[in-house]
Amino acid sequence: MSADIRRCLKRAQLQNDVTLVDIPNDNIKKQLVRNRLYDKGIADVAVMINYSVFVTLRTTNFFNDLFWNLQAYYIGTWCFVQYYYSVVLRALGILLITAHRYITMCKHGSSLEHWMNSRMRWILVLVHWIVPPAYILPFLFREAIPFDDSIAMDPIPKKRLISLANLLSVAFVVPSFTVCILCYLAILRKLYQHRVDLSVSLRRERLVCIQMMGVFIAFALVVLYNILQFNFSLQSNVGPVIQMRVVFPLISSFLSYVNPWMMILTTQDLRRKLLDIYGLREKRFNGSSTKIASTKFVRNQSFPLENVRRSATIRHQG
């Protein structure tokens, strides 16, 4: 990857989290932004790897015997719990990022913002990774869940456990989504109050709000999915609960990749560099560079000739 692409990606990445109204651009806040980005990226990668190992490999003919023999060691339980754990983990990540943006923009100068930008900023990372297991695992890891057979390898939890898992998921996702919406509306209100301001920071924030719309749409789909799952579990319909898990990877992937795609669609520099990489603008770029080079050559050669002619004219007149 070229240096131009790296600079463009870095600029687009900073547009997602650098805020906003006359905020100093110091090293501590830059590090806090990077921590939030790295934390979210690690969570997305961990969810995808976990799904590939405990769902994809579990149903293959090469590893199903291994999972079948280890089901007494809570492997089947984790294959059931992982859906709810990943939902809580990623919902908390979105909540922390949204709350950070709200506090930095709407509560600038407050004691809470100073605490977030202090040396205790790593507490937010610990909260992101400690709260989900502390919230989910004590309730759902009380008993080992077996598989139905050695071919399908589907965990068969009790109806009571399914209802409890969906209750825990809904009880966390719905309030988190509500808080994110309220923070997002407060940010939009702040932007509306400064709508006549044409500063670079506010233009960047308007662009970031457009990019965050994709994340909130994906988050809304996650909330809808968990509400439907909870409704089915209350009606003792275990079949729809199991069948709807096929939709979960699609929603999870959309939640992971919608933000990069929104960055590409809304960032002109990044989009131009990607087109250059795939050669879609190569001929046009080469033609323009040739013209520029030839123009510079003519100018560089014409200036000395004109100077010689002028000096010769002056000498002749003299």
Contact by Cβ (8 Å): 212, 159: no
- Position with higher pLDDT, 17 vs 310: 310
3-state secondary structure 168-204: HHHHHHHHHHHHHHHHHHHHHHHHHHCCCCCCHHHHH
pLDDT band, residue 84 (cuts 50/70/90): very high
Cα dist. 131→92, 123, 127, 138, 299 in Å? 9, 11, 6, 12, 67
Asked if pLDDT for residue 318 goes beyond 90, the answer is: no
- For tokens 């939009």, the residue is 188
155-192 per-position pLDDT tens digit: 888 888 888 999 999 999 999 999 999 999 998 888 88
Domain boundaries, the chain: 3-277, 283-318
Q: What is the pLDDT of residue 177?
A: 96
Report the alpha-carbon distance of residue 140 to residue 167 in Å, rounded. Answer: 11
Mean pLDDT computed over every residue of the chain = 76
Q: What is the pLDDT of residue 133?
A: 94
Asked if pLDDT for residue 23 goes beyond 50, the answer is: no
> What CATH fold (topology level) applies to the domain 3-277?
Rhopdopsin 7-helix transmembrane proteins (1.20.1070)
Radius of gyration over every alpha carbon of the chain, rounded to an integer in angstroms = 28
Report the alpha-carbon distance of residue 204 to residue 8 in Å, rounded. Answer: 15
The 8-class DSSP code of residue 155 comes to: B
Residue 150 tokens, joined? 């050695």
Contact by Cβ (8 Å): 56, 32: no
275-286 per-position pLDDT tens digit: 777 766 554 444
Contact by Cβ (8 Å): 276, 282: yes
> How far apart are the two ends of the chain, measured CA to CA in Å?
62
Q: Is the dihedral of CA 224, 228, 231, 233 positive or negative?
A: negative
The 8-class DSSP code of residue 123 comes to: H
